[in-house]
Chains A and B, each alone.
Chain A
């Protein structure tokens, strides 16, 4: 099957995913071989940055979602007051 762009091919997307996971693993494994110059105690935990980045992002997404429950409105919300003006 011919695709408009190589990125439209699911096979290529799967390859990209695999490449991404390999790079992820490499960055963590690199921690074994490189001195990361930890300053704080917590930094010297193995894979700290990876875990911290992942978990804080999950928390931010969930936090935003929770806030959205209260504050999300349809995007015509302000249309009324703008018509008044």
Chain B
């Protein structure tokens, strides 16, 4: 340890989480805002390098290690915790914000971990914190969803643990650095990371669980788990080619399911998978431009996704409705929420002058620089698709479309300011990207605002918008859900288990019958020979006794002579 005055930002936030339940009123509100702020200051006071080193068993651990990449992710996580805390100040659940801070603190802990053991520890704490956030919504749906959620994440944790144990056993080195997916151990680590990223085949945990949290809980959930996974993939597996295709699959999976979805927050949950897909594709491409793009996109994404979910949360808190088919026309009475939500929607669509434009285009540019025409075509189509499923669909069906007759007011000040601040950041980063570019892990040689880029992007997006309105009849919301892979563990699995249970019960009943009837037959047999007149129980005449004794004596004699 180079200095006794180095504070671990993650531990500051977790300490805040543990302190919060004991505070009330202004003290509590102050602590909610100050804990992440202190942690943020502490983070920026840290020099680069492995700051804490611990010897544990035979391994050199580094629970606090800082470089540009980890500082970037820790910064956005702490910023998210602070603004999310502001948004959730009026949350009546006393569990939610402390749980969210434990969750956010653990996410920061992962980004500042220099070794795999620390990564794993904080990884599991994240699963606990996020489950508690879902849980604190207090509805039966949230309870059921939190159980499915934690099952997936504990399974992912087991896979990750097996991978980390194997990797340490093989290499003898616990430090967390770039790996190649070339052994079972590294594959298991990669799979463990990808499960948290919302990658196939288990992707459904995300849209299943996140929308069940409270109006403020989903805002926290959207930020940390998937983006921590993006961070560990960025550090652990840059340039792993399979990630390009995993990412592209996630992009289109997100779009298609979001297009079919009716629940406004599930639309946004699917679009998280979609956006993480862009980042994972960037990580798979693996050039400096692509990795910068993935990191910048994670940073921008956390802000605009939180903003979108804040606007959805404000609508949910005001109307208690989640379904697009029951919403609409809210712009009449919620102008601030409408404007903020729309800014978030423009940012996620990468409109020029928003944060998405300056981040996502770096991934696309990396595909162009690498002459990956197929990948580039997919990414371009996906950019149009993002505008379709999130950029227009979300604000259109929630705030505009047909008038639902609802006239709820804009939310109270704490919610409004959280939205306004993030809306400001969406535009500020889009107009002035240099501070973000300066924080990226590699030097940025990229100018997003060329006339050609702006015009091509506008063509792509606006014609995608045209397609939306032309096809509006096809997109009319219906009160339906679309089956996803969670069907496997919500319906198919229980059905299989039930039929197994039935079969088992039947077999047992069959065996029982067989044993019973066998016992009965044996009893009858016993009784036949042992009843008073039975062969073994009746009294025999003395004559027959003498006869048998004679026979035995003769036999004895015979054996004596011939034996």
Closest to B484 in A: A71
Contact B481 A72 (CB under 8 A): yes
* Residue of B262, B331, B483 with most partner-chain A CB within 10 A: B483
Contact B380 A49 (CB under 8 A): yes
Closest to A21 in B: B466
Residues of A contacting B484 in the complex (Cβ-Cβ under 8 angstroms): 71
CA distance A37 to B257 in the complex (A): 34
Per-position binary interface string of chain B over residues 445-466, scored 1 when its CB falls under 8 Å from any chain A CB and 0 otherwise: 0000011110111111111111
Contact A34 B459 (CB under 8 A): no
Contact B385 A57 (CB under 8 A): yes
Minimum CB–CB distance for B476 against chain A, Å = 11
Minimum CB–CB distance for B273 against chain A, Å = 15
Contact B385 A56 (CB under 8 A): yes
Q: Is B18 interfacial (CB 8 A cutoff)?
A: no
> A34-B451, A52-B384, A53-B467 are contacts. A82–B256 as well, Cβ < 8 Å?
no
CA distance A58 to B381 in the complex (A): 11
**Can you name 27 A-B residue pairings with CB atoms under 8 Å?**
A4-B332, A5-B332, A27-B458, A35-B451, A36-B452, A39-B368, A42-B377, A49-B380, A50-B462, A52-B384, A53-B460, A56-B380, A56-B384, A57-B463, A57-B464, A57-B468, A61-B474, A71-B260, A71-B482, A71-B484, A72-B260, A72-B480, A73-B481, A73-B483, A77-B483, A78-B491, A82-B141
Contact B388 A60 (CB under 8 A): yes
Q: Out of A20, A61, A82, which one reaches B467, CB within 8 Å? A: A61
Q: How many residues of B contact A (CB 8 A)?
A: 59
Closest to B495 in A: A81
Q: Out of A8, A36, A60, A74, which one reaches B385, CB within 8 Å? A: A60
Q: Is A1 interfacial (CB 8 A cutoff)?
A: no
Residues of B contacting A85 in the complex (Cβ-Cβ under 8 angstroms): 140, 143-144, 147
Residues of A contacting B470 in the complex (Cβ-Cβ under 8 angstroms): 58
Q: Is B373 interfacial (CB 8 A cutoff)?
A: yes
Within B251-287, which residues are at the interface with A (CB < 8 Å)? 252, 255-257, 259-260, 262-263
Q: Is B396 interfacial (CB 8 A cutoff)?
A: no
CA distance A68 to B457 in the complex (A): 29
Q: Is B494 interfacial (CB 8 A cutoff)?
A: yes
Minimum CB–CB distance for B471 against chain A, Å = 5
CA distance A85 to B490 in the complex (A): 11
Minimum CB–CB distance for B334 against chain A, Å = 12
CA distance A13 to B488 in the complex (A): 45
Residues of B contacting A37 in the complex (Cβ-Cβ under 8 angstroms): 450, 452-453
Closest to A85 in B: B144
Minimum CB–CB distance for B448 against chain A, Å = 13
Q: Is B478 interfacial (CB 8 A cutoff)?
A: yes
Minimum CB–CB distance for A25 against chain B, Å = 10
Contact B471 A58 (CB under 8 A): yes
Residues of B contacting A42 in the complex (Cβ-Cβ under 8 angstroms): 373, 377
Contact A58 B491 (CB under 8 A): no
Residues of B contacting A27 in the complex (Cβ-Cβ under 8 angstroms): 455, 458-459, 462
Residues of A contacting B550 in the complex (Cβ-Cβ under 8 angstroms): none
CA distance A56 to B368 in the complex (A): 19
Contact A82 B144 (CB under 8 A): yes
Within B116-173, which residues are at the interface with A (CB < 8 Å)? 140-141, 143-144, 147
Closest to A47 in B: B459
B interface secondary structure, majority: helix
Q: Is A11 interfacial (CB 8 A cutoff)?
A: no
> A34-B452, A37-B450, A51-B463 are contacts. A56–B144 as well, Cβ < 8 Å?
no
Contact A77 B460 (CB under 8 A): no
Closest to B143 in A: A85
Contact A40 B474 (CB under 8 A): no
Contact A52 B368 (CB under 8 A): no
Additional A-B contacts beyond A7-B331, A30-B455, A52-B384 (19; CB < 8 A): A24-B462, A27-B459, A49-B457, A52-B381, A52-B460, A53-B461, A54-B467, A57-B388, A58-B467, A60-B252, A60-B388, A61-B467, A61-B474, A65-B474, A68-B260, A74-B479, A78-B490, A81-B490, A85-B144
Contact A40 B490 (CB under 8 A): no
Q: Out of B263, B377, B452, B494, which one reaches A81, CB within 8 Å? A: B494
Contact A60 B463 (CB under 8 A): no
> A37-B450, A40-B376, A68-B482 are contacts. A61–B259 as well, Cβ < 8 Å?
yes
Contact A67 B464 (CB under 8 A): no
CA distance A84 to B361 in the complex (A): 47
Residues of B contacting A40 in the complex (Cβ-Cβ under 8 angstroms): 368, 373, 376
Minimum CB–CB distance for B478 against chain A, Å = 7
* Residue of A51, A54, A81, A82 with most partner-chain B CB within 10 A: A54
Closest to A82 in B: B144
Q: Is B475 interfacial (CB 8 A cutoff)?
A: yes
CA distance A58 to B452 in the complex (A): 25
Contact B459 A28 (CB under 8 A): yes
Minimum CB–CB distance for B7 against chain A, Å = 43
Contact A5 B463 (CB under 8 A): no
Per-position binary interface string of chain B over residues 199-219, scored 1 when its CB falls under 8 Å from any chain A CB and 0 otherwise: 000000000000000000000
Per-position binary interface string of chain B over residues 345-384, scored 1 when its CB falls under 8 Å from any chain A CB and 0 otherwise: 0000000000000000000000010000100110011001
CA distance A73 to B257 in the complex (A): 13
Minimum CB–CB distance for B324 against chain A, Å = 11
